Amino acid sequence: MLGVRGDPESARFINRSLVLGSMKSGEVLSRAELARQLRLSKVTISQVVADLISEGLVEETGDGGTSSTGGRRPRLIRVVSSGPYVIGLDIGLTNTVVALAGLDGTRIEQFREPTDVKHDAGSILAQIETLTEAILAKRNVPRTMILGVGISIGGLIDGGTGYIAFSPDFGWEELPFRGMVEQRLGLPTILDNCTRAMALGENWHEKSYDTRNIFYVNVGHGIGSAIVMHGRIYNNNSEFGHIRITNRDVLCDCGKRGCLEAVASGHAIEKLAAAAQDAQVSAARSAKEVAMLASAGNATALGIFRDASRYLGRALSIAATLFNPDRVVIAGGVASARHLLEEPLMDEYTATTMDVIKNSTVVTFSSYGMDAGINGAICLALDRFVFHGEAAIVANST
């Protein structure tokens, strides 16, 4: 990573973002360590850190260890542990989650409640306003301490304009949702597709990955996907759920036939269960209940999950062959049934993927479960309003 020199104001802004970015997720560093990492002078680092301390974004935490050459121990710094804050909102078809988080991404308070059943924009806006006011009141945090709001929601989203081009869950089209939220809450807001947000959160928090290129799959009510390239989210739409994966005459919600989403999503599992001859399975009201039956040994439910898993494995083979990512991450509500999915999925993936791809791509399941969406929403806000991810891209390209 390189710092930026040149135009003083641009350099200051980008170097400031890079210093903050080096401390995201709670890293504790000395000024000397920052100077080495960013290849900037100690004078520049000291100036940036002084500005960040005066803005209340960075704090000193004590002294580090003695250096090998002796001398005074370095003062350690990190992003502040209490205030200012960001708010994350994960808006789903079934549930809506709001969280208050610190600048290291730690959730300080979180509420979850069923999403308003009317599903019109006005009702959803009223609900998120109520939730936001409630979480601020619970922690006695004034709005002036909130740097911004990140929103994760399903659909075709233009993160730049904040428009929802199409939301199949809510039936919205060409809706300027970000502007509507900003007007309602009086807070700067960023909006993005839920799977891209989840991938951002995974890439942000999961230090064990040490990978730059990730294919992220969200298996929930539908099937979404996102691509991380060179450590950054690829912002164009990735519609993995709508690749044609079978010649079976199965109609997808998108209007096409044979899509992966039509045979392997939570919604597909529910439809297959409802049509089953097994009365116990046909009475199941959700993919979660079908998974519970499968876990208890019900043969019909096991067959439904086995078939869905095989389709997922076959589709992942196609994606891995095209992209050859360092890692494939499988997440979402259905993916929480890993014990049912993993073996048939990996059997199909292994059988249909050429060795050079298999040997260079790791397939894993996310460890964040139902928190992946809210983690993503928080990281959207942090990336936009605190760490200025776009500035880091400019710096890395110089």
Q: What is the pLDDT of residues 339-364, one digit of tens each?
A: 999 999 999 999 999 999 999 999 99
Query: Does the pLDDT at position 20 exceed 50?
Result: yes
- pLDDT confidence band for 1 (50 / 70 / 90): very low
Averaged pLDDT, 13-17: 79
Per-residue pLDDT, 397: 39
Averaged pLDDT, 58-64: 76
Backbone angles phi, psi at 394, to 5 degrees: -60, -45
DSSP 33-92: HHHHHHT--HHHHHHHHHHHHHTTSEEEEEE-PPPTT-SSPPEEEEE-SSSSEEEEEEE-
Query: Does the pLDDT at position 100 exceed 50?
Result: yes
Per-residue pLDDT, 152: 95
Averaged pLDDT, 23-51: 85
pTM for the whole structure: 0.81
- pLDDT confidence band for 72 (50 / 70 / 90): low
Whose CA is closest to 212, among 224, 199, 223? 199
Per-residue pLDDT, 394: 39
Residue holding tokens 């988080």?
101
Query: Does the pLDDT at position 398 exceed 60?
Result: no
Per-residue pLDDT, 99: 97
Identify the CATH number of the domain defined by range 85-200+373-385: 3.30.420.40
Minimum mean pLDDT among 171-175, 203-207, 230-234, 331-335: which range? 203-207
Token pair for 357? 């791809």
Averaged pLDDT, 364-368: 89
Averaged pLDDT, 250-275: 94
Per-residue pLDDT, 74: 83
For β-strands 146-153 and 107-114, DSSP reports them as unpaired
Residues 286 and 321 sit within 8 Å (Cβ to Cβ):
no
Query: Does the pLDDT at position 70 exceed 70?
Result: no
Backbone angles phi, psi at 311, to 5 degrees: -65, -40
Backbone angles phi, psi at 260, to 5 degrees: -55, -45
Residues 317 and 353 sit within 8 Å (Cβ to Cβ):
yes
The domains of the chain are located at 8-81, 85-200+373-385, 207-366
The architecture CATH gives domain 207-366: 2-Layer Sandwich (3.30)
Per-residue pLDDT, 71: 55
- pLDDT confidence band for 23 (50 / 70 / 90): confident
Residues 6+ apart with CB under 8 A from 325: 211, 213, 214, 215, 227, 228, 361
Averaged pLDDT, 362-374: 89
Per-residue pLDDT, 219: 95
Token pair for 256? 């096409």
Averaged pLDDT, 187-212: 82
Per residue in 164-186, pLDDT (tens digit) is: 998 878 889 999 999 999 999 99
Identical fold, 8-81 and 85-200+373-385: no
Per-residue pLDDT, 391: 40
The architecture CATH gives domain 8-81: Orthogonal Bundle (1.10)
